A and B are shown apart, each in its own frame.
Chain A
């Protein structure tokens, strides 16, 4: 290890300017390590992937990355996403079926992930940088899990210790609570190899850690939980927790809306509450993108009726730049925690919600991992089920709490949330990494 500044290679495909939901954990990790004295190099996806393929980026996020961090963009083979025929090249342009077959054949031999070419390039780039000035540690965050394979191969070729951060789950389908791949799929072998060689593996909640520990007992002792958290720079402005006495209540959901979330029960519950005369004039504001990809916007808008004629009292406010999110929270009286999935899903948004000190009403299946965190939050309201009647009751109770909340309760709520900043969660991880780097790869 270098005498005073350990070097970290951080393989984070989704990193600013991407606005993907996982970006905030990656950004906080890189920033925290840079602030803690590490020399951080981040390998991220090429800009073209964010602009041309997913069409989702937030340039304002780039300014929030520590200027001491070096960023590199290993190449990606755009074959699966390329739509510009001019860029196809003579083989694909003239023989598209043959080119596709060749591509599939190459995929069969490579790491089972559409992004494997980026992983290959990240290994080459990592080796080049390592030759110039050696790294002390490699940390990879997935998805995509090609970053895990890249960390594994870098570890093999250089002897560097590597840590894999399961920001998302790979072989577990979080929404179906079932294996994501059939028996015999190559992903299982790769995961076993990667975890077997890793100096550590991180998970966002205990349920996920336990699932993996049970599957891979040989690596269980190196598995840890690093919770998500909220970013203080996003909520710099402390929202006033109390609604104005005369104004109708504003319920808000802030975050990306996807088809796995129980949007329809939320709408029905909200409409039943207002139809029953509870909190007359209340409105439900939805802030955020519709889907993670530009292409999914129209389909989701149509599915949830968020086009030109929206349901009564419900307004889709569109995406909000990260710098403006504090304003969206300040304009809201009750926050709706809308989450899809199961006991393995925490959703990073919940930390931000708690940090506002406002009433939070849950709209998700019972047993969601976030419930463990919300249980001690003094202003949490959970319906017994996703039945619209139950949702309406919980929303009404949360509305009552918003009207009555005293500054002490709000302060108590915020104090509870203060222990869940991203940096708090990263502190022990950074110390552990420093120790790993000092030991030079030995577990």
Chain B
């Protein structure tokens, strides 16, 4: 069953709605654990992810979770866009075209790839990493209306970096429980299991396909 089907089915009866916030791929396992427990109990789970940067090796999020992505707005941030365009995309594209046409083109492309990897790790993330959560907060806040948080019951900040966004949400939606408590049992343990789920392994290559993340 896809997240959309689950959401459609859920409209037939009122069920709690939870929005998970995660900016880093390290919180994906936590999100999946939460979703597996809560969805079995009829809870509608959605997630806001910042999968534009450092998400290449991330595990997939549980298919029962409707995922809203901040990738496009994050990648359009002026600093991020300029860095990627000027240091990675344009030189990389030029060098790829030169490869095989001019002597040493292949070596230059390889050197560029190495240089960009080093710069990513030692310059880009050193500068951008500490402020990333502050840069993402206004992007998400501007799009909150699309999340329809008025009809949500709970927002879970799955990692420390999402706390500023959670704080802004708490200010705007006084009825919402905004929490760092990531244990689904404490929140939904009183609900009976209404739709047992098959075990789902995000590393299984034959796992059922999930619907793509929707842009927020």
Name A's B-contacting residues (CB within 8 A).
55, 82-86, 88, 92-97, 100, 294-295, 297-298
Give the size category of B's interface with A: 10 to 19
Secondary structure class of chain A's binding surface, majority of residues = helix
Partner of B186, one of A88, A93, A295: A295
Q: Chain B interface (Cβ within 8 Å of chain A)?
A: 130, 157, 160-161, 163-164, 166-167, 170, 177-181, 183, 185-186, 189
If A294-B186, A295-B186 are given as contacts, then 16 extra A-B residue pairs at C-beta distance below 8 Å, sorted by A number, are A83-B180, A83-B181, A84-B177, A84-B178, A85-B166, A85-B167, A85-B178, A85-B180, A88-B163, A93-B163, A93-B164, A96-B160, A96-B163, A96-B164, A298-B183, A298-B185
Instruction: Select A85's contact among B157, B161, B189, beta carbons within 8 Å.
Output: B157
With CB as the reference atom, state the residue of chain B lying closest to A90.
Answer: B167
Chain A: CB-nearest residue to B170 = A86
A82 to B170, CA, bound (A): 15
Residues of chain A within 8 A of B166, CB atoms compared: 85, 93
B113–chain A nearest beta-carbon distance, Å = 32
Residues from chain A with Cβ under 8 Å of B164 in the complex: 93-96
CA–CA, A93 to B166, complex, Å?
A: 8
**Which chain B residues lie closer than 8 Å to A95 at the CB level?**
164
A97 lies within 8 A of B180 (CB): no
Q: Which residue of A lies closest to B137 (CB)?
A: A94
Specify which chain A residues have a CB less than 8 angstroms from the CB of B181 in the assembled complex.
Answer: 83
Min distance, Cβ B141 to any Cβ of chain A, angstroms: 13
- Nearest A residue to B180, CB-CB: A83
Which of A82, A84, A93, A96 neighbours the largest number of chain B CB atoms within 10 Å of its CB?
A96
Instruction: List the A side residues contacting B178 at CB < 8 Å.
Output: 84-86
Chain A: CB-nearest residue to B162 = A96
User: In this complex, what residue of B is CB-closest to A297?
Assistant: B185
**Cβ–Cβ < 8 Å partners of B161 in chain A:** 96-97
Q: What is the bound-complex CA distance between A281 and B28, given in angstroms? A: 47
Q: What's the minimum C-beta distance from B186 to chain A, rounded to whole angstroms?
A: 6
Q: In the assembly, what is the distance between CA of A92 and CA of B179, in Å? A: 13
- The distance in angstroms between the C-alpha atoms of A93 and B161, with both chains bound, is 10
Which residues of A have CB within 8 Å of B180? 82-85
Which residue of chain A has the shortest Cβ distance to B163 in the bound complex?
A: A96
Q: Which residues of A contact B185 (CB under 8 A)?
A: 295, 297-298
**Could you list 12 examples of A-B contacts with CB < 8 Å?**
A55-B186, A83-B180, A85-B166, A85-B170, A88-B163, A92-B163, A93-B167, A93-B170, A96-B160, A96-B163, A294-B186, A298-B185
Chain B residues contacting A92 (CB-CB under 8 Å) are 163
Task: Enumerate the 6 nearest inter-chain pairs by beta-carbon distance, A residue then B residue, closest first.
Answer: A93-B167, A83-B181, A96-B163, A85-B178, A85-B166, A83-B180
- Establish whether residues A85 and B179, one from each chain, have CB atoms under 8 Å apart when the complex forms: yes
- Residue on A with the closest CB to B181? A83
Q: What's the Cα separation between A158 and B170 when bound, in Å?
A: 46
Residues from chain A with Cβ under 8 Å of B130 in the complex: 97
> Which of A86, A94, A295 has the most chain B CB atoms closer than 10 A to its own CB?
A86
Q: A55-B186, A86-B170 are in contact. Are A97 and B160 (CB under 8 A)?
A: yes
Docked pose: A294 CA to B181 CA in angstroms: 12
| B167-A94 in contact (CB<8A) | yes
Which residues of chain B come closer than 8 Å to A88, judged between CB atoms?
Answer: 163, 167
In Å, the complex CA distance between A295 and B182 comes to 10
Q: Contacts A93-B164, A94-B164, A94-B167; is A84 near B179 (CB within 8 Å)?
A: yes
